[in-house]
A and B are shown apart, each in its own frame.
Chain A
């Protein structure tokens, strides 16, 4: 070894001794690495989560769209927990004469979404694997949402707090049995087992279009609206005979025509017994979306359901410490670097209903989806 090589080696050794590293630093770094890694893992199933959320939301809002009679179909398809799967008699016919499906059930939810399966809330995750052949089969009238926009609309307006529904939005009620059927095996321990998503027997399908176009221009946090750990009732059990969602304000109206403005649709991770563990935000502006996108039923790929990381229940740990998010490069975040343990989680769409945010209540809308984070 030459003199220069010795000097070089000595210099390296000297530099090595000069560098100080906190002996405990590696533990901090390790925790951060694991937290970020788990966030990445969560990110991998974020898409299924979003798909699940979108599907459920589409089902809800699509059903709402159908119930509004946008195509001049005055028919309502109430969704009630105690009803069978009898399709209501339509009060009008679709303008295009498209055939109607009258027995769409929550089984139409595509459970084969990667990484997310709808399943019983209390079931063993290993037994709730999705079945590929249960993907939704849309009836021929799928496009009726968009085609419905040109159909005549009922002119019977509803009111809400002195505010008139737009004439174009028909508010109808019905005593007909709901067209929702129960979702086999799906149960949250609350409400009932009928976890079918609101659907419209008029439209006859899940509306894959027309709901997520109502992307909120501003969002609110559901945090605080839905106390962590509180049971999440089924929207159908609270709004029996859900009949009409009409017009620009996105109201849900029950059979007594009590309008319940949809203040937001969000996504929540729930516990096995159906309580909210962690909440994300959703559409805060559903109450102010314009009628046009609703009626036309357009779907814009860049207007997917936004989910932002919001809630975090400080009194809960683990499961409760995460929040779903989407968009803007956001990922599942755990405040204070609390890690999301690998495992199965349940999530569902929540709908915030109420006269105003101060008096809003949240309800579950649709199935509870099982998600895996690993």
Chain B
């Protein structure tokens, strides 16, 4: 792939997938999702000589985002063990009134799951990826993905019940 072709490919990937990848990184727990995705694109650009086509590039990007988010989440976990992070800004009354769904609660509970469960759930229920693709992205077997999904849902249910309780 020539340099100009790669630039065009990068531009197309940016236009089509940047936002989705930001959401993916966010759901996976990255606190700086845009930076994660930006870094992923930088790595994609650096690896342009090895890219075959747009499909491969997208898969490569997704994999990088997942890996980078893992690293970021691990870093955040380490940071939390060394000291409490500042509390996120509390929603005001207006926000609580407007927010009638329990989406934020679910996402908050999701972020308390183990990373492997969170990844499996996000890839399955947000990206709607088949288990085989999830297994490839996570670097595990399909059976492990099934296990992660099942245990992740159980853990999530428990957390939500605790919240309600």
Q: Which residues of A contact B (CB under 8 A)?
A: 2, 4-5, 7-16, 19, 21, 25-27, 29-30, 32-34, 36-37, 40, 342, 374
Main SS class of interface, B: helix
Known A9-B126, A34-B45: A19·B103 in contact at CB below 8 Å = no
CB distance from A18 to the nearest CB of B (A): 8
Q: List 14 A-B contacts (CB under 8 A).
A: A4-B156, A7-B102, A7-B106, A8-B121, A10-B101, A12-B107, A15-B23, A15-B104, A19-B23, A25-B34, A29-B37, A30-B14, A33-B10, A36-B45
CB distance from B34 to the nearest CB of A (A): 7
The complex places the Cα of A370 from the Cα of B8 at a distance, in Å, of 29
List 13 other contacts, CB 8 Å, given A14-B103, A37-B48.
Answer: A4-B157, A10-B103, A11-B103, A11-B104, A15-B26, A21-B19, A30-B11, A30-B14, A33-B41, A33-B45, A34-B10, A37-B42, A40-B46
Q: Which 3 A-B pairs have the closest CB atoms?
A: A11-B106, A14-B103, A12-B126
Question: With a CB–CB cut-off of 8 A, which chain A residues contact B104?
Answer: 11, 14-15
Task: Decide: A5 and B153 in contact? CB cutoff 8 A.
Answer: yes
CB distance from B153 to the nearest CB of A (A): 6
Question: With a CB–CB cut-off of 8 A, which chain B residues contact A40?
Answer: 46
Interface centre among B7, B23, B156 (most CB of A within 10 A): B23
The complex places the Cα of A13 from the Cα of B44 at a distance, in Å, of 27
Interface centre among A11, A14, A27 (most CB of B within 10 A): A11
Q: Does B138 contact A (CB under 8 A)?
A: no
CB distance from B159 to the nearest CB of A (A): 11
Known A25-B18, A40-B46: A8·B38 in contact at CB below 8 Å = no
Task: Decide: A33 and B103 in contact? CB cutoff 8 A.
Answer: no
CB distance from B112 to the nearest CB of A (A): 13
The complex places the Cα of A26 from the Cα of B17 at a distance, in Å, of 10
Task: Decide: A15 and B103 in contact? CB cutoff 8 A.
Answer: yes
Q: Does B22 contact A (CB under 8 A)?
A: yes
Task: Decide: A36 and B103 in contact? CB cutoff 8 A.
Answer: no
Task: Decide: A21 and B18 in contact? CB cutoff 8 A.
Answer: yes
CB distance from A205 to the nearest CB of B (A): 39
The complex places the Cα of A29 from the Cα of B41 at a distance, in Å, of 8
The complex places the Cα of A290 from the Cα of B37 at a distance, in Å, of 51
Q: Does B3 contact A (CB under 8 A)?
A: yes
Question: With a CB–CB cut-off of 8 A, which chain A residues contact B37?
Answer: 29
Question: With a CB–CB cut-off of 8 A, which chain B residues contact A21?
Answer: 18-19, 22, 34
Question: With a CB–CB cut-off of 8 A, which chain B residues contact A16?
Answer: 23, 126
Known A5-B125, A342-B3: A11·B22 in contact at CB below 8 Å = no
Task: Decide: B22 and A9 in contact? CB cutoff 8 A.
Answer: no
Question: With a CB–CB cut-off of 8 A, which chain A residues contact B46?
Answer: 37, 40
Q: Does B27 contact A (CB under 8 A)?
A: yes
Question: With a CB–CB cut-off of 8 A, which chain A residues contact B101?
Answer: 10-11, 14
